[in-house]
Amino acid sequence: MNERWNNRRVLVTGGSGFLGQHLIRALARRGARVTVARYPDEPAPAPWPSGVTGQLCDVRDARRVQQLTQDVAPEIVFHLAAVGVTEPFIDAEAALAVNVRGTLNVLQAARSMHGLRRVIVAGTCYEYGPDSNLDPGNVYAASKVAAWAFCRMAYHAYGTPVVVARPFNVYGPGQNGHALIPAAIRAALGSRDFPTTPGEQRRDFVYVDDLIQGFLALALAEGIEGQSLDLGTGVATPVRRVVERVFALMGTKTSGRPQIGALPYRPGIVWELVADAQRTAQRTGWRAQTRLDQGLQYTIAALSNEALSDEAPGDTARDETGSTGPGELGSPIRQAFRESSD
């Protein structure tokens, strides 16, 4: 148990996704009373940890969001629900409906939440452009910038205690298999070659356990309302280097090899995205602790323990997100309660 979280009422949207599942487990271990808002058409989840309950809620439905928040009366809200995480050029209408309207519905409901301490809204590092200013290059990122703008409006106009978290390239056990690192690991485990782009773009890879600690720090840190803070290591690593390290760490256990440069870059690529880790540390005290090789080893071990019989051959990675096809739920609206994990 953790005294700062014990019996604290927490609402999580996007709880069935990669980050959401890790966050829920972390909150449950600390004794929080967690309510997970679950999209109505999603398959029934595995049993929740002790202290966690699920409620059906579509974030596009303002009345249902209002009703749920009144019933739960959360002290802290983690709004992770999003579409387009693995499909950055998702249909714009779907992105507006879930990522923008859904966020606005949460912000509007927050105005009548008694005892609310903090709303954490998950953004994305892809909101940034080449000069580190907000300059989105795809539909998903553009919708996240729009959501950020409404967060700023809510803070200025109504005093909503909202903080936008911008995760960088999160990886770890449980991530969508289309993402770069799990796709590379599965190829290596299957002794298959792994085609990638030239991989010269540099990204800030942050291990999921560190990222969750960052979320928790943003929820409790004093005096950061209205701010947007990066969650990353502050270290940029070329994408090709990450793929090469996966295969190197596998050693003689794989006969597969990375095929660097076998695929073209996507248009409009940003060559470097790295978190302002110093600013976040100054405001929250949080810093990522897991070295890249260490996190890769943890992830390799986790995936090695999974059954690989259903894995299809021919893994590829178009870019640093590894998004080569539809997301893990297929329909973008059925992803509405998957979270923003890049």
In SS3 terms, the chain reads as: CCCCCCCCEEEEECCCCHHHHHHHHHHHHCCCEEEEEECCCCCCCCCCCCCEEEEECCCCCHHHHHHHHHHHCCCEEEECEECCCCCCCCCHHHHHHHHHHHHHHHHHHHCCCCCCCEEEEECCHHHECCCCCECCCCHHHHHHHHHHHHHHHHHHHHCCCEEEEEECEEECCCCCCCCHHHHHHHHHHCCCCEEECCCCCEECEEEHHHHHHHHHHHHHCCCCCCCEEEECCCCCEEHHHHHHHHHHHHHHHCCCCEECCCCCCCCCCCCEECCCHHHHHHHHCCCCCCCHHHHHHHHHHHHHCCCCCCCCCCCCECCCCCCCCCCCCCCCHHHCCEECCC
Average pLDDT value for residue range 44-57: 88
Express each pLDDT in 276-295 by its tens digit: 999 999 999 999 999 999 99
Residue 312: per-residue pLDDT: 45
65 vs 332, higher pLDDT: 65
Set out the domains of the chain in order of their start, with CATH numbers.
9-171+207-233+327-339 (3.40.50.720)
Residues paired with 313 in a beta bridge: none
Residue 258: per-residue pLDDT: 97
**Percent of the chain surpassing pLDDT 90:** 79
Residue 207 above 70 pLDDT?
yes
- How does residue 313 score in pLDDT terms, banded at 50, 70 and 90? very low
- How does residue 76 score in pLDDT terms, banded at 50, 70 and 90? very high
Average pLDDT value for residue range 69-95: 94
Residue 329: per-residue pLDDT: 29
Token look-up 């690529």 returns: 269
Average pLDDT value for residue range 209-233: 98
Residue 231 above 50 pLDDT?
yes
Residue 302: per-residue pLDDT: 95
Mean pLDDT of the chain: 89
Q: For residues 67 and 37, give the distance between their C-alpha atoms in angstroms, rounded to a whole number.
A: 12
Residue 47 above 90 pLDDT?
no
Residue 226 above 80 pLDDT?
yes
- How does residue 1 score in pLDDT terms, banded at 50, 70 and 90? low
Q: Which of 105, 138, 134 is nearest to 121 (CA)?
A: 105
